[in-house]
Structure 1
Amino acid sequence: MAPDWLAQLREVKQMSRSICPKIQRVAHHLRSRKHFVKLYSPRLVSFGPIHHGEPHLQLGEQYKLMWASTYLGGPNKIPEHLHQKIVEKINELKLLYSEDAIRHLDDENLARVLFMDGCALLQILDKFDLMNPEVLNVKVDQLVLVNQDMLLLENQLPFQLLKLLSPHNDNELTKMMVRFFNCHHLPSGDYDVVSLLPHPPHLLDQLRRIVLCDFQPQQNGNDNIITYRNIKELKAAGIRVKRCESKCPLNITFSTSFWFGGELRIPKIVVDDTIAPTYLNLIAYEMCPDFENKYEISSYLEFLDSLIDHPDDVMELRSAEVLHNGLGSDEEVAKLFNTISADLVPDTAIYACVRAQIEKHYANIYKTWYAQACYTYFSTPWTVIAVVAAFLALVLTFVQTWFAIFPAK
């Protein structure tokens, strides 16, 4: 008789991958990083089963009851058929979560959690307004926390659940999600819902779609070229950074001027308290084993990290109006990008063309020498004055020598 472990080998199945991965916990190797462990967990409100019932989220439970009751029309108007929909579809909804995310709840309690949290989330999506937090009967600082908690990987509710609880059709529900992001620094606006189809599995996926909307990577380049040139080095080589207007923050391009310079065009980057949890959870989502993707967000942050090594690099980006620093010092911003991008495995093909163009610029000796000379002698008013003074001294010395050899008659 074959040992048990051999029987397990025969029964094992290949891990499935799809465009609609299950809602699951953040991978252990990401969560174990001590600087970021708190950024994967909700601070005020839990949505879904993973963090349900945690002691520090009890205030959030009271808020969810209030929002769900308001969404349903008040305590005397709760339509029981909505809850019955969840009960009837509970087996289908369970398939949208990983096994370890729901094993601590039986079907009855899971249906209760999904019903209450789904109604609360729909009320938030419909009434969310940071300028008017009283609409949701909370203070603005609490609404900011709710906003951040809604975008955590472990705090997602399935789109299919919201469909069961919402009177809107799929397109209207997707538009409601898009409108929610109008209050964010991330790109938003008049997106064609058709371009965002198929409909997102959850809110975090919708955010990722909006970030990547209109992304046009330049694929012509050598994937083997790995360029690590920070902003200060690029400037010394005659490459200036310029802000470009693009809906997609990932649309970074490079162009060469007619003379000796180059131009690295980067969409606006807003750095504040939300950037770390937002991008870290987007990265964690890309790293889910059942999510097939091209690691676009990871590649973007890895490329930014290659540009930002020191506070001087942040200062140059601010001077070019590419980066808005709402976090604090330039040193904090540089440290943030250096730590966020640790252990990332990007798709090098995404920015291969930009890297190749930068390397080509560096390989041109004449361009590099000319740019370095300009950077060394004409980068500040004092160096310009020094060069002009030295030139005048040289001219006067030449004139004096000339008349010493050939005195005037």
Structure 2
Amino acid sequence: MMVMDACYILQFIDKLPITGNPFSDNKLRSRNIALDLVLLENQIPFFVLQGIYDLTLGTLTPDQPALTTMLKALLDLINPFEEPLRVQNVIPDDHILGLLHKIYKPNFRLQEIKEIPTAHSAVELDKVGVKIRPNKNLTWPMAMEFEYSLSSHKPTLRMPVVRIDNFFEVVLRNLIAYEQYSPVENYVTSYAMAMHMLAANPVDIAKMGKSGVIVSHLGSNEKASDMISSICKNVNLQDFYYMEPWKNIGKYYDSYWLRNFGLFKRTYIDTPWKAIALFAAIIVFLITVIQFFRQLVTPFL
């Protein structure tokens, strides 16, 4: 059975990049097949796939790309992130789902802190002036970074752009299940938990969609919020790999002056027209005060 499955996978990924092939040009069928191949229960040992590849495609076609390169075309079909997948220096050792997990893994070790972080939703962060923006310079595929400096006064949480659809749910659920039952780092579980904190309600989904970090294909913000919340249900959070940006966000959120300055800026000067109106109101107020004191002083002159 494993030999037959491996032969089918190799045939599928070999035909996948070829245009004009009815077997691979049906995008919906190709995505469904790719999704089926990352289900945890459908995994076959990678050494079986590699061995049959070496005996067939690798031998018959000398210029055939490496197996991991061919599998990248398969995984690109179900990658929910806007950032393209990279397989350079990725050495698979278990199966296709494990390969995808390694692709999402950072090439450096993140700090592990075993504690539950403080949760702030996207709307809560927006109220105190924290903007959420796409991360164009990802240090790893699921990187989230908090940027703030006293000179710019623009606190920003940068995160990868993700498409929320049924494929997103299945891919993350299987990666999380793989992390829960295998001796690997819990990067995907941490990402899902972070998304659950940020997108706690439909209004958070709307805010993140407006910010350009979420592209929802589910038809309603309620469905997207429910999906993100359900992914982490009954999941054990062993390590949280976003503790550094979350701690910095917490410091900003709990700081009286920074938080209230952000709230003031968002309320009164976040647009040029509001800034002009505030400036005009201050001038009118000063003129009124000056005239008032003139009227008090005039009788004594």
Q: Give the TM-score normalised by structure 1.
A: 0.62
Would the aligned equivalents of 2:68 and 2:87 in 1 still touch at CA under 8 Å? no
Alignment partner, residue 253 of structure 1: 145
| Secondary structure, aligned partner of 2:142 | coil
Indicate how the Cα distance of structure 1 residues 352 and 189 shifts in structure 2: closer, same or farther if over 3 A, else same: closer
The runs of 5 or more residues in structure 2 that have no matched partner are 60-64
Q: Distance in 2 between matches of 1:182 and 1:398?
A: 66
Q: Read off the aligned partner of 1:122 and give its amino acid letter.
A: L
| Secondary structure, aligned partner of 2:177 | helix
Alignment partner, residue 116 of structure 1: 4
Cα deviation for residue 129 of structure 1 reads 4.7
Cα deviation for residue 228 of structure 1 reads 0.5
Indicate how the Cα distance of structure 1 residues 141 and 160 shifts in structure 2: closer, same or farther if over 3 A, else same: same
Q: How does 1:147-158 map to 2 (within 5 A)?
A: 147-158=34-45
Q: Distance in 1 between matches of 2:47 and 2:240?
A: 34
RMSD of aligned alpha carbons: 2.9
Indicate how the Cα distance of structure 1 residues 140 and 180 shifts in structure 2: closer, same or farther if over 3 A, else same: closer
Task: Tell me how many residue pairs correspond in the alignment.
Answer: 288
Q: Give the TM-score normalised by structure 2.
A: 0.83
Q: Distance in 1 between matches of 2:270 and 2:100?
A: 41
| Secondary structure, aligned partner of 1:406 | helix
Alignment partner, residue 278 of structure 1: 171
Indicate how the Cα distance of structure 1 residues 160 and 178 shifts in structure 2: closer, same or farther if over 3 A, else same: same
- Equivalent residue in structure 1 for 2:14, among 111, 122, 126: 126
Cα deviation for residue 215 of structure 1 reads 6.0
Q: Distance in 1 between matches of 2:224 and 2:21?
A: 29
| Secondary structure, aligned partner of 1:265 | strand
Q: Read off the aligned partner of 1:268 and give its amino acid letter.
A: V
Indicate how the Cα distance of structure 1 residues 344 and 318 shifts in structure 2: closer, same or farther if over 3 A, else same: same
Alignment partner, residue 35 of structure 1: none
Indicate how the Cα distance of structure 1 residues 182 and 118 shifts in structure 2: closer, same or farther if over 3 A, else same: same
| Secondary structure, aligned partner of 1:142 | helix
Offset from partner CA, 1:239-283 (integer Å, 9 cap, x none): 222211227332111222124442211122222231011111111
Alignment partner, residue 67 of structure 1: none
Would the aligned equivalents of 2:144 and 2:159 in 1 still touch at CA under 8 Å? yes
Q: Note if 1:145 corresponds to 2:46.
A: no
Q: Distance in 2 between matches of 1:388 and 1:343?
A: 52
Cα deviation for residue 160 of structure 1 reads 2.2
Q: How does 1:381-392 map to 2 (within 5 A)?
A: 387=278, 390-392=281-283
Q: Note if 1:160 corresponds to 2:56.
A: no
Alignment partner, residue 156 of structure 2: 263
Alignment partner, residue 109 of structure 1: none
Cα deviation for residue 348 of structure 1 reads 3.6
Q: Read off the aligned partner of 2:192 and give its amino acid letter.
A: L
Would the aligned equivalents of 1:188 and 1:210 in 2 still touch at CA under 8 Å? no
Q: Read off the aligned partner of 1:281 and give its amino acid letter.
A: N
Cα deviation for residue 381 of structure 1 reads 7.5
Alignment partner, residue 203 of structure 1: 96
Cα deviation for residue 389 of structure 1 reads 6.1
Alignment partner, residue 68 of structure 2: 174
Q: Note if 1:191 corresponds to 2:87.
A: yes
Q: Distance in 2 between matches of 1:120 and 1:175?
A: 17
Cα deviation for residue 128 of structure 1 reads 2.0
Would the aligned equivalents of 1:378 and 1:384 in 2 still touch at CA under 8 Å? yes
Cα deviation for residue 390 of structure 1 reads 4.4
| Secondary structure, aligned partner of 1:274 | helix
Indicate how the Cα distance of structure 1 residues 183 and 286 shifts in structure 2: closer, same or farther if over 3 A, else same: same
| Secondary structure, aligned partner of 2:158 | strand
Indicate how the Cα distance of structure 1 residues 135 and 224 shifts in structure 2: closer, same or farther if over 3 A, else same: closer
Offset from partner CA, 1:45-104 (integer Å, 9 cap, x none): xxxxxxxxxxxxxxxxxxxxxxxxxxxxxxxxxxxxxxxxxxxxxxxxxxxxxxxxxxxx
Indicate how the Cα distance of structure 1 residues 373 and 131 shifts in structure 2: closer, same or farther if over 3 A, else same: farther
The runs of 5 or more residues in structure 1 that have no matched partner are 1-112
Indicate how the Cα distance of structure 1 residues 332 and 379 shifts in structure 2: closer, same or farther if over 3 A, else same: farther
Q: Read off the aligned partner of 1:254 and give its amino acid letter.
A: F
- Equivalent residue in structure 1 for 2:193, among 284, 294, 302: 302
Q: Distance in 2 between matches of 1:142 and 1:362?
A: 46
Would the aligned equivalents of 1:249 and 1:268 in 2 still touch at CA under 8 Å? no
Q: Distance in 2 between matches of 1:383 and 1:146?
A: 52
Indicate how the Cα distance of structure 1 residues 282 and 130 shifts in structure 2: closer, same or farther if over 3 A, else same: farther
- Equivalent residue in structure 2 for 1:319, among 198, 210, 219: 210
